[in-house]
Structure 1
Amino acid sequence: MTSGIGYTRDVFLWGISGIYLVAFASLYVQIPGLYGENGILPAKLVLQEKIDSIEELLDGAPTLMKLTPRLGLNAQGGMDLLCLTGMLVSFLSLVFSGARDTVAYTLLWMLYLSLYQVGQTFLWFQWDILLLETGFLAIIVAPFNLQLPKKWKMSPYHQHDSITLWLVRWLLFRLMFASGVVKLTSKCPTWWGLTALSVHFESQCIPTPLAWWWHQLPLWFLKLSCVATYMIEIPIPFLFFSPVRSMRIFAFYCQLLLQILIILTGNYNFFNLLTIVLCLSLLDDEHFGYKTGRQSSWLGRLINILASVLVYGYIGYQVLHLFSLKVNFSPSFSVTSSTAFSQPQFTAWLDWIVPWTMTIGAVSLSYEIVMAVVRCMLEKKAMQWRLISVAQCVLFGAISAGMLGISLVPLSYLSNSSYYSVPTIFRNAHEKFEPFQMTSSYGLFRVMTGVGGRPEVVVEGSDSLEGEWKEYEFMYKPGNLSRKPPVVAPHQPRLDWQMWFAALGSYQHNTWFVNMAYRLLQGQPEVIQLLQHNPFPGEPPKYIRATLYHYHYSQNNGQDWWVREKKNEYFPPVEKDNPSLVQYLKHAKIIDDEDTKGKPDKKRRPSQPSYTHRFVTFIRMLIGQPDGFNLIMSIVAGTLLIKIYNKYFW
């Protein structure tokens, strides 16, 4: 008797390997311009010069970057080495099933955590945190693959696989449920008015060409889509824990549909692919075409059908009632919808449901542990092997219970009255392990931005305050009105993303923007390579400024995809030697006295580069700083070809 999820576990681990490969490769091509010696936010600013003990390694933000100076590497070289190592390990685990073990995923998690700790604002995205939490769970899910004598070898699949994969399902539940809830707790008028999607496709960071078409859809359809989003993100995730298999599969396809639609209309890097990988925890081997020997009587099938009808009917009734859905056939077909509950009512419901989600999680995990133990005792093996399997289930059950307890803390943030209902031991453990990003809170699209027009910062340079100002064109974000929106996912252009956030505030709250302006005044090639078009290919401009515009989709995309209107000055004209700018840059340690004097800093150039330094420098020169999307597609295509060759021709 088996749990019937061995193949599902392998597919999940394979998917995580692919996400890691994409994430490391995407970051690697951007390191010089973002974190290099002459980058926007040099990584050296957040690193100690040298550590001499394990205590110093774990002190503060834990990162392997603290060890790279011992290899003769500067900060950029250290990040290069960690990224290259991550790409190699994830590539091997993607191609070879034997490489998908606990050791590989432990190393991948440590490498990405190390980069995250020095990545500063360019690596502080929810999908980076989600990858770290998922990566940590992959360590628990993955097999050990111990090299034991043949007579001692055990099956590569274990009864406790259902327990560890349950943690992945619990993470998926927290991600989706929180993403639905925060849209309403934020009190955003567009989410409450069901008009959020009439703004979203135009205001999101990097839309795809299809986003333009979705933006043109009738308002009633966009409002209905908003209702569907609520349904998929709030009630449907509770079906993740249903004992009825068909309900879990139904929930899987609901989530899959949502993620595919987001992929088609928005460039959210590897986030949606990572969410789809998490959704695999809702499936079993039978769904992939494997016979598991599972049989059910006619009575069991009848009960499942009746339970499904009741649950789907209840969800449908509540959606119709809570959003006042009405179908109109004249004068033309449409569906009217409006929110039929108040903010106090939703808050009261949330205070009631969040503690119940904690209870559901505890009961569901307990059920998985008990069933795993029962399957162990029913196995047709010698008693000692059954006892070993039971011990494994108890061990992983205890680990999973601890992870569940810690994760209750970020879940409790959804309700003001729930935090102190979490046992103190779990609150203390969450605080202790918080630097390791083992469990976090989520909530995507909390507030809809860009109502009245998407704000965009346009950076310009000139050789004279009265002269012609020329625009810098960024790689992917809207700028040139006639440029077609790109398809860039799963690559994440981190500078373009931060430019989107910068437009929502001011440069005083995005101090990295000042650093970028200075690098453009210097004409630093590493930063210039992060842009699509440099209007000053010879000498850098004397002045840099930035203007805030509001962009809108054009009514027809015959020539221009966008129209824009000028709002105000975002960043005043500044020159490289401006005293206030120089003073700020010195305070931020972006430059020092040697930089202002135009003299080379000899301390940054090791007289005798180490072999490791020569290696990462050679690889960097070999690869250069190519377009991230093209590099990722090349790597993924090459990996798939090798995988196919190994399977069918080796």
Structure 2
Amino acid sequence: MISVRQTRNLFLRGICVVYLFSFLSFYIQIPGLYGNNGILPVKLFLDNIRGKTLLAKIQTKPTLLWFASHIGLDPEYMMDVLALLGIVFSFLGFISQKLCVKLVYAILWILYFSLYQVGQGFNQYLTDDLLLEAGLLAIIVAPLFSQSRPKRYSTTKSDIITLWLVRWLLFRVLFSTAISKLLSGTPKWWDLSAFNIHFESIALPTPLAWYCHHFPKWWLRLVVIYSQVTEGALPFLFFVPIRGVRIVGFLNQLFLQLCIIVTGNFNTYNILMITLMISLLDDQVFYKRIKKQRASKWSRLFTFFLNLLIHCSILYGIYVLYDIKFDGNKLDGKITFTKSQFDEIAIKAITGSAFVGLISLALTICGVLTDLGREVTQGKRPLRTLFIPIFCSLTAISCFVMSTIPVFTIDSRTNITKNADVYNIYKKIEPYKLFNNYNYKLYKSLNSINGRPEIIIEGANNIEGPWNEYNFLYKPGNVNNSLPFVAPYAPRLDWQMWTASSSSYNENPWVLALAYRILTGQSEVLQLIDKAHSPFQNQPPKYLRALLYNYHYTLWDQRWHPSWWTRQKVGEYFPVFTKDTVSLQDYLQSQKLLPANIKQVQSTVNPIIKIVLDNLRHFAAQVEGSFFLWSVFSAGCVIILTTSKK
């Protein structure tokens, strides 16, 4: 049986890297988002949660922040402590394989979940849900204790079972993404024109997105076909018991993720997906010193041609289902199946995915236990070595059963939530984000997109003007500003501004909280915008308003022009406010977002701890977010390289 011990180690180190980026990104933004002077103060959020006792509060909202007062901290500083602990543990796991053990991953999960619980409107990201579920699998995959050298009776074979769960999570994310696009009924997915607007409308496009947007229309239709097939059909090949098929599957998915990375800033999502993809590989891919299991010449030829046959069949299926045609110098296609036909296919695919997963898991478990049982009967292993593989098998079966429920809920016709026994268990653990739904609801709104709506906040000292714009650090604003590369840093305020632009400010109370913080000149919030280029450096503006603009990329003929965007005013997003506007204060009061006396809050913090945390915060505030993340990551790489040579 092929070894996956080193593959497991690479997966665990990759999870530590994702945690490191996530905790660093969260830490940088705590004062502006959740601080006592922030947009959504975490203290106000916790104060509004009912519960007479500590246990009752934990049951209502499980987070370590409830213990802040017990160690001489307020909630804001407690968030700093949790984020810093997450940074330390993930960094140590990144630089040292010895610390990639269950206890460390359990600590990382608890720390991140505690921050996630109080994230309010700024943590509604697919990446957060995916990281929490992948973090659970890291706990399952990681060894209980560090092993500096392999033991005589190594439990390597149990890693095959636990890594299968990682592969199943990867399948669920990709499959749910692809099938929900077409099930949404959005015409732009059906006429293959979705990518005509995709690169222009994504939250934080990169400079390359501008160039991709100007690809020929027929090329963009092929990109849609490629994404539908790569995400919807090819993941089924993850469970084919042929090593070459899985490696080709890894390369296909890797290419897709790299394309997404260079065109869109999706924080740590794509790095996390690539980390999950490691489960498709084995040790022979990474380490040449591992002896390859030599098969006979005819066996190798058979698997090669079988792999070739599988992928040729897929190409033929694409040719038929998408009516691929050559027309001069271009290659074009269109969907040949109807929506009703796809609905029937979707039902079978959703149901079939669960059966394919079940069969694959059963074969994996049987193969491992049979192999170990043979070694036990031959006296090569003691009977006790079967305990861990059996325990891992039971854990894998339990996780698989729970994770199938989100898969079946992709379509209402396959929803099996009426099964009370299984569904009731799932509903009890659902708040802990252990098994999540990865359907993309966003694709339903593609029809109404024409360009990208953007909220532009303006301030003035006179009601008649002049009105000066506030520029954000990463989202589009000034049409001449270059598009940035931000990932893996996650600027949560910029992301939420993009989300809020598609709805009214009444549906996003935090927008008016942001306006109030700007009017009162809170430096923590201004740090998240663009404090260095703020139009009001000395004091905040007296008046503030927000306008809604519709942005479009400039034309290809203007590629040498300094402007990246053209924009057209749509209307008012929220009216003119001052910090003393009664309606603004009443609204924030009704939403429980109007802060109390901050000085009294901060006086409860232990002075020694406060000095340490304030100094660390002052140091971190001097560096731009994405640069800070890459600096810490580079330092870890240097440590790994220098220590490995000793």
Shorter-chain TM range is: over 0.9
- 1:525-573 Cα offsets, whole Å, 9 max, x none, are 0000001231111111111111111111111232111111111111111
Partner SS, residue 339 of structure 1: coil
Quick one: which of 248, 251, 262 aligns to 2:249?
A: 251
- The verdict on how the C-alpha distance between 1:478 and 1:228 changes in structure 2, with shifts beyond 3 A counting, is same
Matches within 5 A, 1:355-374: 355-374=351-370
Counterpart residue identity of residue 353, structure 2: T
What TM-score, normalized by structure 2, do the two folds share? 0.94
Partner SS, residue 537 of structure 2: coil
CA contact (8 A) 1:184 1:191 kept: yes
Alignment pair present for 1:98 and 2:98: yes
Matches within 5 A, 1:460-609: 460-532=458-530, 533-555=533-555, 556-557=558-559, 558-591=561-594, 600-606=597-603, 609=606
Counterpart residue identity of residue 506, structure 2: Q
Partner SS, residue 41 of structure 1: coil
Matches within 5 A, 1:26-425: 26-48=25-47, 55-56=55-56, 58-145=58-145, 157-290=155-288, 291-329=290-328, 333-379=329-375, 383=379, 385-420=381-416, 424-425=420-421
CA contact (8 A) 1:191 1:448 kept: no
CA contact (8 A) 1:29 1:625 kept: no
Aligned residues: 637
Identity of aligned residues (%): 37
CA contact (8 A) 1:51 1:67 kept: no
Q: Relative to structure 2, which stretch is displaced further, 627-636 or 288-297? A: 288-297
Partner SS, residue 335 of structure 1: strand
Partner SS, residue 205 of structure 1: coil
Measure how far apart 1:304 and its partner are.
Answer: 1.8
CA distance in 2, matches of 1:549, 1:155: 65
CA distance in 1, matches of 2:250, 2:347: 27
CA contact (8 A) 1:351 1:417 kept: yes
Measure how far apart 1:72 and its partner are.
Answer: 1.3
Q: CA RMSD in A?
A: 2.2
Counterpart residue identity of residue 605, structure 1: Q
Partner SS, residue 547 of structure 2: strand
Partner SS, residue 416 of structure 2: helix
Corresponding residue number in structure 1 for 2:455: 457
Measure how far apart 1:612 and its partner are.
Answer: 3.6
Q: Which runs of 5+ in 2 are unaligned?
A: none
Counterpart residue identity of residue 100, structure 2: R
CA distance in 2, matches of 1:552, 1:601: 42
Measure how far apart 1:608 and its partner are.
Answer: 6.5
CA contact (8 A) 1:65 1:114 kept: yes
CA contact (8 A) 1:8 1:281 kept: yes
Partner SS, residue 160 of structure 1: helix
Measure how far apart 1:97 and its partner are.
Answer: 0.9
Corresponding residue number in structure 2 for 1:429: 425
Alignment pair present for 1:624 and 2:621: yes
Counterpart residue identity of residue 96, structure 1: S
Counterpart residue identity of residue 294, structure 1: Q
Measure how far apart 1:610 and its partner are.
Answer: 5.3
CA distance in 1, matches of 2:147, 2:216: 61
Measure how far apart 1:381 and its partner are.
Answer: 9.9
CA distance in 2, matches of 1:616, 1:318: 59
Corresponding residue number in structure 1 for 2:635: 638
CA contact (8 A) 1:62 1:435 kept: no
Quick one: which of 435, 460, 477 aligns to 1:439?
A: 435
- The verdict on how the C-alpha distance between 1:607 and 1:441 changes in structure 2, with shifts beyond 3 A counting, is closer
- The verdict on how the C-alpha distance between 1:54 and 1:293 changes in structure 2, with shifts beyond 3 A counting, is farther
- 1:473-530 Cα offsets, whole Å, 9 max, x none, are 0001010111110011110100000000011111111111010000000010000000
Measure how far apart 1:379 and its partner are.
Answer: 4.0
Partner SS, residue 59 of structure 1: helix
Corresponding residue number in structure 2 for 1:8: 7
- 1:50-76 Cα offsets, whole Å, 9 max, x none, are 989774364023211111221111111
- The verdict on how the C-alpha distance between 1:481 and 1:335 changes in structure 2, with shifts beyond 3 A counting, is same
CA distance in 2, matches of 1:197, 1:350: 23
Partner SS, residue 31 of structure 1: helix
CA contact (8 A) 1:202 1:215 kept: yes
CA contact (8 A) 1:51 1:66 kept: no
Counterpart residue identity of residue 15, structure 1: G
CA distance in 2, matches of 1:82, 1:50: 23
Counterpart residue identity of residue 142, structure 1: A
Measure how far apart 1:295 and its partner are.
Answer: 2.5
Counterpart residue identity of residue 5, structure 1: V
CA distance in 2, matches of 1:53, 1:147: 42
CA distance in 2, matches of 1:171, 1:433: 17
- 1:91-115 Cα offsets, whole Å, 9 max, x none, are 1000111001000000001100000
CA contact (8 A) 1:145 1:156 kept: no
- 1:199-236 Cα offsets, whole Å, 9 max, x none, are 11111111111111111110000001110111100110
- The verdict on how the C-alpha distance between 1:208 and 1:143 changes in structure 2, with shifts beyond 3 A counting, is same
- 1:387-441 Cα offsets, whole Å, 9 max, x none, are 2232211111000100000001101111222222785433222111111111101
- The verdict on how the C-alpha distance between 1:520 and 1:565 changes in structure 2, with shifts beyond 3 A counting, is same
CA distance in 1, matches of 2:223, 2:553: 20
Counterpart residue identity of residue 11, structure 2: F
Counterpart residue identity of residue 122, structure 2: F
What TM-score, normalized by structure 1, do the two folds share? 0.94
- The verdict on how the C-alpha distance between 1:3 and 1:430 changes in structure 2, with shifts beyond 3 A counting, is farther
CA contact (8 A) 1:351 1:416 kept: no
